Amino acid sequence: MESQFRPGFDVSQGAGGRASRVGDVAAPRSSTQLPGIILRIVAIVLTFISAVVMGAARQTTTVVGTDPETGLLTSVTGTVKSTYSAAYVYFVVANVLVFFYSVVSLVLSVANRAGLASMSLLFSIADLLMVVLLFSSNGAAAAISVVAENGQQNLAGWDKICYLFGGFCARVNAAIVLSTVASVAYVILVVFGMANLRRSL
């Protein structure tokens, strides 16, 4: 009696048919997977450094001048910290949040070897939120840095301070630049995500 079991046909069809079940829709394998992982690693490193540099930014400076009333030399010591500005604090919080998300998304993207389309959609939405968060915090911090560099006498009577606290301003500007590069990395990730979703339709 001839056997009805045909391993060469049935087994291969069974293994290949598992991904076709409802809920297991897989997106096409894309050459953007490795660049996406690299970009997430770049974002992890840059947001971590940005948060640390901005959070630790402080400087104490002593200014020596002449007292206009007595004519004697006098010294004034001033300290500036990033925590004195709400915009800088927001910058640190935003970069910390993006850092933790980047770590989690990197682990999930590596684990998602099947390239499920549902995961790609979630990553694209979350990555877009990270872009918004980074650009908003970078813009707020950059605005305060411009005031610290040039002052704002006409509007608020704020004096420029970077000529006295040059080291502080340099660290703040470096943190903003690094975070901006991280935000660009996430913009590229969003573009990759949209391209992958388009190919999966």
Question: What digits encode the pLDDT tens for the residues 55-88?
Answer: 999 988 887 667 667 766 777 788 889 999 999 9
CB 177 within 8 A of CB 89: no
CB 61 within 8 A of CB 77: yes
- pLDDT 10s digits, 5-53: 444 434 334 444 444 343 444 444 445 578 888 999 999 999 999 999 9
- pLDDT 10s digits, 99-118: 999 999 999 888 866 556 66
**pTM attached to this predicted model:** 0.77
Q: If you average pLDDT over every residue of the chain, what do you get?
A: 80
Sign of CA dihedral 50, 140, 96, 80: positive
Residue corresponding to tokens 């939120």? 129
Taking alpha carbons only, the member of 64, 69, 26, 32 closest to residue 164 is: 64
For residue 185, the model assigns a pLDDT of 95
CB 148 within 8 A of CB 161: yes
For residue 31, the model assigns a pLDDT of 54
H or E stretch including 34? Answer: helix 33-55
Distance CA 115, CA 27 (A): 5
Rounded to 5°, the CA angle 90-125-129 comes to 10
- pLDDT 10s digits, 149-163: 887 766 666 778 888
Residue 163 CA to chain centroid, in angstroms?
29
Q: At what angle do helices 166-200 and 33-55 cross, to 10 degrees?
A: 160
Percent helix, strand, coil in the chain, to 5, is 65, 10, 20
Is pLDDT of 2 > 70?
no
